[in-house]
Chains A and B, each alone.
Chain A
Amino acid sequence: DTGVSQDPRHKITKRGQNVTFRCDPISEHNRLYWYRQTLGQGPEFLTYFQNEAQLEKSRLLSDRFSAERPKGSFSTLEIQRTEQGDSAMYLCASSLGRGELLRYTFGSGTRLTVV
């Protein structure tokens, strides 16, 4: 069990640029979640996948955000035309998807700063 890996750990980008984050979940986990966290707040749900199917998207996920999980393995979260309000920690988590459904393993996150 190597845990959930996220890449990069930090990203600084100029307003208007596109950014893409990657998440590698625990291999036997079929559920993958993306959350966003701003300073002083708890993580906010963005979207989740069961295998390769994206089952739910939050209203927080504007049209500029897109997430994929090809082949049900790693996932990418892309933000197009970044805005300063997108600055946050982006967290990925995975779970088995059966049994203890809410027992997630989180990655260390990608901190995005839009300047």
Chain B
Amino acid sequence: DAKTTQPTSMDCAEGRAANLPCNHSTISGNEYVYWYRQIHSQGPQYIIHGLKNNETNEMASLIITEDRKSSTLILPHATLRDTAVYYCIVSRETSGSRLTFGEGTQLTVNP
């Protein structure tokens, strides 16, 4: 699986958009980009995933660059409850695959 690089921490003001970057310059053509988050003392929670196209769901938007070497997770209107560690994971979706977590980005949403 391709390695990912994320900033250790970020801050965002409540109500503003939070843009979390992820670098995955060694990604291969059949690898997906997955985002999870983990609120303190809870298990990780799936947010969104994509292969090539930008994706949007009720939680967030995922913007993948055309060369697929980086992506950005966008929380359009961050709330205090979005304070969490956000993990960007790149992996193929084959039967033997499983999630490999890095250290993620600690996002703190400030009032």
Report A's interface with B, CB cutoff 8 A.
4, 33, 35, 40-45, 48, 55-56, 91, 93, 100-109
Contacts and interface: CB of A to CB of B under 8 A. Distances in A.
B62 interface: no
Contacts of B102: 42
Contacts, number: 60
Main secondary structure of the interface of A (DSSP, over half): loop
A94 B102 CA distance: 20
- Sorting the interface of chain B by its residue count into under 10, 10 to 19, 20 to 34 or 35 or more gives 20 to 34
Interface of B: 32, 34, 36, 41-46, 49, 85, 87, 89, 91, 93-104
A102 B93 contact: yes
B32 A109 contact: no
A102 B91 contact: yes
Nearest to B91: A102
A100 B57 CA distance: 15
